[in-house]
């Protein structure tokens, strides 16, 4: 895996300053009201601080620069583009809290998920009601709180920025719904899998953050179009890499058990390709996908079939093609000072192991 671009860390530090100030202030505010709120609010702070790459704020920053925004302004901690980056991180935190409940995940970034943590606390304390429902309820509400804080940060934005923000939020929820439906119905079509990929990740993670930054700089229609031509294929490549990691990833790097996507029967382009190319004997192995108690041996068998069908190599080809399409879109429609950093970011997010 390549080293992250130096600019990623610089942008992250500014965004983290905004997040820390907000989280510390809100923690003091609400724990003064009731000390029992320290636990749930602490979970929000823990997730936000737990090592996310801050990719969405970076794309927001470079979208601002690509549209002719003043780099010196973007380097100010109280600038609108830094605030928007912090809002994106809080919105992402909301999505992760909710996603972990939807997937019934045990771990996130190497730590116990919030719904598991509070479910265990309920059980060990002998509190009233059902431990599982309590844990899930806490995680959902903490996620909602993150979403409210995100909305508050973006609240004073101009009309165009607000429109991009609202569309981003709608699209990621639509993507999540398509993901949940695909897992439940067993829809294995490549068309559906790529639709989920586009709405759950490509738009939300890259295209819309770019648009958000560009809108703050008053970007033209030509700039927005160029950023879409870059952001959509790159976002799809980003999610496809996630799909590979979800099946073949190293738990020491991902912080999640190997084969999680197989247990949850995620409708991914990788699995759509494997099912389409599988022989009858291979289908018998792939039909185990979606079984919650998959053993390590089952996962190894499924991984082998994915490789044997050519699905993995075909997907790697699609990732590389989309990366090329994205970089080719970085033409003279955007400010030249953004081309190098956006090219570097593209290579980094496609060539990663976690």
Instruction: Decide if 288 is inside a domain.
Output: yes
Contact 70, 337 (CB under 8 A): no
Residue 182: CATH number of its domain: 1.10.600.10
Element (H, E) at 67: none
State the pLDDT at residue 2: 65
Structure tokens at 76: 């100010």
**CA–CA gap between residue 160 and residue 51 (Å, rounded):** 31
Q: Any bridge partners for residue 108, and if so which?
A: 111
Number of domains in the chain: 1
Q: How many CB atoms lie within 10 A of CB 39?
A: 15
Measure Cα distances from 188 to 95, 194, 310 in Å: 24, 11, 16
Instruction: Decide if 157 is inside a domain.
Output: yes
Instruction: Decide if 246 is inside a domain.
Output: yes
Domain boundaries, position 71 = 6-350
Q: What is the model's pTM?
A: 0.94
Instruction: Decide if 54 is inside a domain.
Output: yes
State the pLDDT at residue 250: 83
Instruction: Decide if 196 is inside a domain.
Output: yes
State the pLDDT at residue 128: 96
Instruction: Decide if 1 is inside a domain.
Output: no
Instruction: Decide if 287 is inside a domain.
Output: yes
Instruction: Decide if 83 is inside a domain.
Output: yes
Which residues, 6+ apart, have CB-to-CB distance to 262 below 8 Å? 247, 289, 290, 294, 299, 302
Closest CA to 216 of 152, 154, 150: 154
Residues of the chain short of pLDDT 50, as ranges, are none
Q: Which DSSP string do the residues of 160-224 spell out, in sequence order?
A: HHHHHHHHHHHHHHHHHHHHHHHHHHT---HHHHHHHHIIIIIIIIIIHHHHHHHHHTT--HHHH
State the pLDDT at residue 1: 53
């Amino acid at each position: 895996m390549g080293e992250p671009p130096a600019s990623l860390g610089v942008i992250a530090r500014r965004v983290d300053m905004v997040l820390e100030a907000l989280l510390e202030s809100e923690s003091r505010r609400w724990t003064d009201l009731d000390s029992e709120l320290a636990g749930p609010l602490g979970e929000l702070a823990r997730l936000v601080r737990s090592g996310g790459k801050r990719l969405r704020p970076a794309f927001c920053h470079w979208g601002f620069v690509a549209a002719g925004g003043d780099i010196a302004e973007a380097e100010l901690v109280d600038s609108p583009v830094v605030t928007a980056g912090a809002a994106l991180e809080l919105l992402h935190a909301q999505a992760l809290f909710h996603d972990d409940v939807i997937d019934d995940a045990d771990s996130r970034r190497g730590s116990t998920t919030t719904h598991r943590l509070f479910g265990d606390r309920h059980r060990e304390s002998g509190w009233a009601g059902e431990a599982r429902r309590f844990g899930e309820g806490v995680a959902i509400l903490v996620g909602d709180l993150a979403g409210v804080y995100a909305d508050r940060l973006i609240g004073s934005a101009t009309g165009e920025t607000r429109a991009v923000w609202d569309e981003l939020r709608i699209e990621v929820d639509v993507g999540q719904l398509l993901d949940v439906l695909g897992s439940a119905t067993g829809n294995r079509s490549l068309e559906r899998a790529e639709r989920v990929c586009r709405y759950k990740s490509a738009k939300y993670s890259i295209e819309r953050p770019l648009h958000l930054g560009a809108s703050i700089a008053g970007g033209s229609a030509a700039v927005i179009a160029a950023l879409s031509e870059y952001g959509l294929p790159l976002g799809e490549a980003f999610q496809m890499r996630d799909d590979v990691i979800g099946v073949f990833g190293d738990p020491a790097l991902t912080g999640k058990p190997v084969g999680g996507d197989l247990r949850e029967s995620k409708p991914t382009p990788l699995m759509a390709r494997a099912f389409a190319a599988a022989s009858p004997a291979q289908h018998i192995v792939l039909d185990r996908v979606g079984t919650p108690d998959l053993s390590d041996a089952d996962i190894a068998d499924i991984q082998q079939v994915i490789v044997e069908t050519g699905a993995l190599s075909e997907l790697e080809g699609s990732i590389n093609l989309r990366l090329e399409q994205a970089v080719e879109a970085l033409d003279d429609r955007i400010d030249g000072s953004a081309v190098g950093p956006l090219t570097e970011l593209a290579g980094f997010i496609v060539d990663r192991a976690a």
